[in-house]
Amino acid sequence: MMEPEVITSLQNPRVKQLVKLRDRRPRDQAQQFLVEGYRQIRRALNRGFAPVELYHCPDWYPGDQGNEAQLLADAAAAGARVWQLSAPAFAKVAYRERPDGLLAVLPQWRRELDDLTLSANPFLLVVEAIEKPGNLGTILRSADAAGVDGLIVCDPVTDLFNPNVVRASTGVLFAVPVVIAESGAVRAWLRQKGVRSVATTPAAEGLHTDADLSGPLALVMGSEQYGLSDTWLAEADQTVRIPMAGQADSLNVAMATIITLFEAVRQRG
């Protein structure tokens, strides 16, 4: 059956599948995920991540950029199938508050610990069981700004390809190498590589600024609700805390991660 040039039906199977990809199970079944908006799709393309499908709707273009046509051409050249949607159809598939008429479907990927390329003085960020997509996205941005070799996500609760992680990461998902792994395997791998693990917990005695963060380093951060697991706390090479002047919950995990990462950046010169 020929597919229409412009998809107008809200019952079109592709439209329905785009809506489904917001949820984890269909996303994992399809091994695909959504990337919405010009800037994010452009960043994916620039990093060599090619969409398999690209949906556009000129009615939703903000109108002041005019570089959508080039994006469509670049995506097509990279192998994407391109469809136009009617304004109502695009409204149905868009999940951003202010859609800009561009939505891509990309294949998921999976990296293993041994896929990480460690620099001469390894610098890694490890997070355990992060629950909120927005926090994982912010953590990705912090990891990018601090210049880590990679982000290791242990025992994830939210998945990396959640649309809100993708959005909150502002394209950093395509820049920072991310590995999903089980905590025990991560600890064994860090020991094998000679990388010191420094875990942040309010229960630690020493401050993060008094720890030596200048050598091969994996900073380890716990989950929003439960903090770090007992095993990480017991087996980390060192635990540190961030000094807190105000109410105990003023720093969330994303904020604590930024503080610790940039103290490491300072020490590493």
Alpha-carbon distance of 157 to 200, in angstroms, equals 19
CB–CB of 79/52 below 8 Å?
yes
Q: Under the criterion CB under 8 A, does residue 215 sit at the interface with its own copies?
A: no
- Can you tell me which of 6, 73, 76, 244 binds its own copies, judged by CB under 8 A? 244
Based on the shown chain and the rule CB under 8 A, indicate whether residue 121 belongs to the binding site for its own copies.
Answer: no
Among positions 35-94, residues that touch its own copies (CB under 8 A) are 43
- DSSP per-residue codes, 123-156: EEEEEE----HHHHHHHHHHHHHHT-SEEEEES-
117, 40 Cβ separation under 8 angstroms: no
> By CB under 8 A, which span of 24-32, 66-74, 100-108, 249-257 interacts with its own copies?
249-257
Burial 15-24 (b: 16+ CB within 10 A, else e): beebeebeee
118 near its own copies, rule: CB under 8 A:
no
CB of 191 vs its own copies, minimal distance in Å: 26
Two structure tokens written together for 241? 């805390």
Sheet hosting strand 196-200, strand order edge to edge: 178-181, 150-154, 123-128, 217-221, 196-200, 238-240
Tell the smallest beta-carbon distance from residue 100 to its own copies (Å). 17
Least distance (Å) between residue 109 CB and its own copies: 19
According to CB under 8 A, which residues from 169 to 198 bind its own copies?
170-172, 175-176
The residues that touch its own copies, with contacts defined as CB under 8 A, are: 43, 138, 141-142, 144-147, 170-172, 175-176, 209, 242-247, 249-252, 255, 258-259, 262-263, 265-266
